[in-house]
Structure 1
Amino acid sequence: MRPYKVLVVDDSAFMRKIISDLIENDADFQVTATAANGREAIEKVNELRPDLVTMDVEMPEMNGLEALKSIMAQRPLPVIMLSGINEEGMKETILALEWGAFDFIRKPSISNSQDIIAVGESLREQMKEAMLARERREARASAVKSPEPPPPAAEPPAPRAVVEPVRRKLEPSKKEADKAPLQGTEKPRVRAPLEPPADKRKPETGTEPAAAKRVAKPAPAVPKPAPDRLKGRFQEAQGAGRVVQRAASEVAAGSFVEPPAATGGQASGSRSVRKLVAVGCSTGGPRALKAFLENIPGDFPAPIVIVQHMPPNFTKSLAQRLNTFSALEVAEAEHGMILRQGAAYIAPGGYHLTVVPVPGGQYMIELTKEEVRNGHRPSVDTLFESVLQLTSLERHAVIMTGMGSDGARMMKALYDSGVTSTFAESEETCVVYGMPRSAVELKCVRHILPLQEIAPRLVQAVK
């Protein structure tokens, strides 16, 4: 098999060399050209038709975001963004993912050889997943387009001299025909089909007739509070007191943080939580979360807790961006936040997120620095495992696009414990059909749906 052709785009000649070397450590990939800005990148994509592009976000003349938009409009192909860790670079990276980039990695520190090695491993893994995802899409597309094989050509009729004796031999005499029992005339006895038990019913796959796919129309969005009040409303506690957050250094050290004591009574405007939605996603997740959250109404009667695999700092930019689209209040989760209806909480990169009960019938977010799980922190399995313990809540679990299998094992545990409101994104809309496929293979998914149908069906299930 020929190596995949890669175009490396960066305004730094030194960085182009580093990235090219990291890519060519894998014999399956070959850097066929480089470009110093977005304008050059567009020209070389049209001229050379590479299989994949790595694209710096911030460049002079034309930045990576503008080049990405042009490439995806003219000749779509997998693009992996390379982002700095400054605030502007993170915001543009989130936009790039929304506009069609396959994924992103942060730029390596050129003074740290270990960091360069780690970034190289991550980059090559993403490139392989991008090529695998593209090949699967092409295979599905060709299977849909390929016509049915033509019927075999009819053989020419045999000469009459040959046909007649054969016919006389095969056709029974009238007497024999009269004696032969009639076949196929007895009506078979048909039993009425039995409704299978709930736990044995086949999962919904989004391919039922239209009448079976009617879903509740989302309620109109409720006006969102002003952004400057958002954080304060998230941190409402019971009674007159507030949740006291421990110092960040204590959490970073991985120390156990006890839930705050309740003081009785409910905070003004808060309602006790009786339902909870937990969501997990990875590669392709920012775009999927946008499509998901913008279809959830503002009066949704359950908090939504989300794990999106992403490095530290980027999750804050993601939450801010999603908050502009959603009727819900969307924020990066902080340790000690009390869960509220009509709100969505995104786990910060670098921290596991769990949900724990606090006195008074409320639930709190706890962040920890425990070891990575399934290669990730935050981990979907860690979130789902905490939800497994909350038996007094009506729970709903969702897995969308992403590499690997994070979340599948604990979704299976939820399903086996009786939580059958489980959703997975179907292959047709996934950027990478990894995490959802793992859950489907464990037979713990009740609703297998394309992305655009998940939110309406979840709203119907929760309401």
Structure 2
Amino acid sequence: MDKINVLIVDDSAFMRKLIANFLQEDSRIHVVGTARNGMDALDKIKKLNPDVVTLDIEMPEMNGIEALQRIMNESPRPVVMLSSTTKEGAENTLLAIQNGAVDFIQKPSGSISIDLHLIKNELVTKVLQAGRVNIALLKKPLKIQENNTSRNIDYSKIELEPNRNIKKIVCIGTSTGGPRALQQVLPRFPKKYPAPIVIVQHMPAGFTKSLATRLNSLCEITVKEAENGEVLKAGIAYIAPGGHHMKIKKIGTSLAVNVDESEIRNGHRPSVDVLFESISDIKGIQKISVIMTGMGTDGSYGLKKLKETGQAVAIAESQETSIVFGMPKSAIETHLVDRVEKLEEIADTIINLT
């Protein structure tokens, strides 16, 4: 197997050295060079032609967002962003993903993280994953799918009572490439969609609220970060808060969110398996499960549990549109997936099932 050639871009010489040392400890990675800012990065990319670029967001002369836009326009390749944990940092991270970044890594403490060793394994893993993504999909401009008003169902006449018994629930799991995928799927749902949508997007704490806010601004339905104890309502999408598992429990005739920091599963918290397993225990409702782009196998075990309880329909994103075809592929290999759909067709498939 050929090594993945990486260019490291950071305005701190200390950080460049530290990141290079971490990456080169893995025999599958070769650091071909470093750059001190965005302009330097563009020049080095042309000279060194790296397979993957790690790119700091906060830099002088040309920041990471501007550099990313130029990279994706002039020399497209997988880019992994390094981001701070501030609110502004989270918003810039989502902007980077919207502009074609394949993934991001959260710095443990500020722009110069002396404790970067805490995320060493994540850094190596994400660089290796980035070397295998479908770059053609990242290059495509992100177009928001608008609601299709030509459907036969007239949702405008549906009355969504606050305490109405939930008859159906949509549960979505995704990881690498997920924020872009969710921006293609959720805006397709009509305002009065008669079921709640619960979502696990692999993200650390501090980022999912910005993601929910961004998605809410694009959608007719309400999109929010889930809160512990809140009762699910139709027409609302709930995103598991980063760093926490989200479980759905039946309380009387209602469904409620339970958020906790229990054991990490499949290397993730939140975990798709944890969400799906909790929903599998709920009787008397139809479950529509969706597994979209992402690395690994999270969601496949939970899918098995959902199917064991019946009344569950499973959808997986196709390889053709997945940024990373890991999670959908694993789900399909369980032979429990009912429909394999292109990203742009997933929302319509869910709505027709409902």
Aligned to 1:424: 316
The answer to whether the Cα contact below 8 Å between 2:84 and 2:109 also exists between their aligned partners in 1 is no
Aligned to 2:166: 273
| Pick aligned residue for 2:240 from 340, 344, 347 | 347
Aligned to 2:193: 300
Q: 1 or 2, which has the higher strand percentage?
A: 2
Q: Amino acid of the residue matched to residue 313 of structure 1?
A: G
Residues 52-451 of structure 1 aligned to structure 2 (within 5 Å): 52-109=52-109, 115-134=115-134, 217=151, 269-359=162-252, 361-451=253-343
Aligned to 2:3: 3
Q: Amino acid of the residue matched to residue 99 of structure 1?
A: N
Aligned to 1:190: none
Q: CA deviation at 1:221?
A: 8.7
Distance in 1, Cα, partners of 2:247 & 2:108: 30
Distance in 2, Cα, partners of 1:416 & 1:443: 13
Q: CA deviation at 1:116?
A: 2.7
Q: Amino acid of the residue matched to residue 217 of structure 1?
A: R
Deviations 1:47-70 (A, max 9, x none): 321111000011122111111111
Q: Amino acid of the residue matched to residue 337 of structure 2?
A: V
Q: Which has the larger radius of gyration?
A: 1
Deviations 1:197-244 (A, max 9, x none): xxxxxxxxxxxxxxxxxx97386897xxxxxxxxxxxxxxxxxxxxxx
Q: CA deviation at 1:395?
A: 1.1
Aligned to 1:247: none
1:455 aligns with 2:347: yes
Q: Amino acid of the residue matched to residue 326 of structure 2?
A: G
Deviations 1:321-362 (A, max 9, x none): 111111111111110111111100000011111111122x21
In structure 2, the residue corresponding to 1:327 is in which secondary structure?
coil
The answer to whether the Cα contact below 8 Å between 2:4 and 2:128 also exists between their aligned partners in 1 is no
In structure 2, the residue corresponding to 1:404 is in which secondary structure?
coil
Distance in 2, Cα, partners of 1:127 & 1:419: 39
Distance in 2, Cα, partners of 1:335 & 1:269: 18
Task: Report the CA distance shift for 1:275/1:2 in structure 2 as closer, same or farther (over 3 A).
Answer: closer
Distance in 2, Cα, partners of 1:97 & 1:294: 17
Q: CA deviation at 1:87?
A: 1.0
Q: Amino acid of the residue matched to residue 293 of structure 2?
A: T
Aligned to 1:238: none
The answer to whether the Cα contact below 8 Å between 2:134 and 2:324 also exists between their aligned partners in 1 is no
Aligned to 1:22: 22
The answer to whether the Cα contact below 8 Å between 2:300 and 2:334 also exists between their aligned partners in 1 is yes
Q: TM-score, normalised by structure 2?
A: 0.90
Number of aligned residue pairs: 340
The answer to whether the Cα contact below 8 Å between 1:72 and 1:100 also exists between their aligned partners in 2 is yes
In structure 2, the residue corresponding to 1:271 is in which secondary structure?
coil
Identity value in percent: 45
For structure 1, the 5+ residue unaligned runs are: 139-214, 223-266
The answer to whether the Cα contact below 8 Å between 1:102 and 1:284 also exists between their aligned partners in 2 is yes
